Amino acid sequence: MNLTRIRLVSLVALVCAFIPALVHGQGLISKQSFGEKNEIILKFSAEVNKAQAANVSNYSVIEEQDPDIRLELASAVPNYSGDGVTLHFKQPLNTAKTHVVTVSNLSGDVKTVVKVSKPYLGYLFSILISALLINNFVFTKYLGLCVFFGTSKRKTTAKGMGVVFTLVMVASAMMSWFFFNFILIPYNLNFLEIVVFIGLVSLTVQAVDTILRKVNPILFNSFGVYLVLVIANCVIIAVPLMMANNKFNLFETFMLALGAGGGFLLALYLMSSVSERMQFAKIPPTFKGLPIAFIVAGQFAMAFLGFSGLQIF
């Protein structure tokens, strides 16, 4: 009974958190969205004068963060039925940011203000994809290479290690977010972020060490010395630092940590599949060991460059 109520309350809270992203259109404009790279599409609730709708000076568009800079419009093209308009801009828009469109003179003297932003869930998803593929932590950011080359010898170890990494990253990023937003920022202690974050990461790793020893001793033994090395690993400490740099909120931090961990798991798995095969290959003696691993990783990195054009939302 109690549990159902808690679930209901949390569901309502979640919906409320996303409502501002959904309910933007009111009054004259019923729907607004980003079109191509330099377009904003507006839909009107009533028919408007086409000549007025095509007048560029009726619109003013700014980014929500910098209200001083008016974005320059190239043209405004009303659609055939006269209940919509497409705004073309001279420069491509930064669609990750919220844009504010002010429309005047279309229905009397009333000014209508609408905010154009991408769907928030889509934005969260794009953070995940970006951390997972486009900015893969191993192949395009070069973080965590010591553990990456150390544990990518066998597939089973690689998989377990990747999962443990993801768990540690998510847990430590969440804790870092709470510490950063409720202790460091209010008391103006930003300069302590490195000390606090590394402390939290070590704490999480110690906890995982203790739990894993009891819950799954076989996996624990297969990790050996590398579990301790997790502390001295840049992948994990990089997530809270990026969170602090970009001032992410809780959901965004969660997605970043999940994407970073998933990306690390993916990289470890790919690399371990290759190195299992390399054991049977004839490698020149000078290239044995690390050098050939580096060359393989370089080829993976080149392949991952292909993801840089990926944009889903």
Q: Can you give the binding site for another protein, defined by CB under 8 A?
A: 139-146, 149, 191-192, 194-195, 198-199, 202, 228-229, 231-234, 236-238, 241-242, 245, 285-288, 290-295, 297-298, 301-302, 304-305
Instruction: Report in angstroms how near the CB of residue 142 gets to another protein at its nearest.
Output: 4
We find the least distance from the C-beta atom of residue 283 to another protein, in angstroms, to be 10
| Closest CB to another protein among residues 101, 238 | 238
- Identity of the residue, 28 or 238, whose beta carbon is nearer to another protein in the bound complex: 238
CB closer to another protein, 108 vs 285: 285
Least spacing, CB of residue 297 vs another protein, in Å: 5
How far is it between the farthest Cα atoms of the chain?
82
Question: How near is the Cβ of 198 to another protein at its closest, in Å?
Answer: 5
Q: Taking the complex as a whole, how short is the minimal distance between the CB of residue 149 and another protein, in angstroms?
A: 7
The crossing angle, in degrees rounded to 10, of helices 250-278 and 290-305 is: 130
Q: How far is the CB of 237 from another protein (least distance, A)?
A: 5
8 vs 283, which CB is nearer to another protein?
A: 283
Task: Provide, rounded to whole angstroms, the least separation between the CB of residue 72 and another protein.
Answer: 28
Q: Which tokens is 90 given? A: 């001279």
Q: Which residues contact 265 (CB under 8 A, 6 or more apart)?
A: 159, 162, 163, 165, 166
Asked whether the beta carbons of 237 and 198 are under 8 A apart, the reply is yes
Nearer to another protein (CB atom), residue 41 or residue 192: 192
Specify the residue, 111 or 141, whose C-beta has the smaller distance to another protein: 141
Residue number with CB closer to another protein (44 or 148): 148
Q: Which residues contact 232 (CB under 8 A, 6 or more apart)?
A: 146
CA nearest neighbour of 146 among 262, 221, 230, 24: 230
Among 119, 194, 163, 183, which residue's Cα sits nearest to residue 265? 163
Name residue 279's amino acid: Q
